[in-house]
Amino acid sequence: LADTSYEFGEACPDKGVAVLSTLRFAEGTTTTTDASRGVNENQEKVLLLRRTLKILAHEMGHLFHLKHCIFYQCVMNGWAHLDEMDESPLHLCPICLRKLHHGLVPLLLVVQQG
């Protein structure tokens, strides 16, 4: 994670492991600080949870061999800073959802046959 300034997580699909970090959520690392947006303590907790879930969903997508999405607003979009993350949804776009489905169906068939 040290080689990029705004890395939020890393996944290694071949090994089935991923790591995420909330380090970038610390004060002073955003381009538009949460305090300047008037975020109160309750909103801050919700924002922290939402950001963490986005990173988790994004890295899980990488574990299923999904690449960064360039087609729609999608949880698999790449993020250069927190503002971009905050603007992205917590769901897959139709293209990435189809890619996930296409990758999972063969696995499910193997499990059913086993």
- Reading the block at residue 110, the tokens are 């193997």
Residues taking part in catalysis: 59
CB atoms within 10 A of CB 59: 19
Cα-based distances in Å from 18 to 32, 78, 94:
28, 16, 24
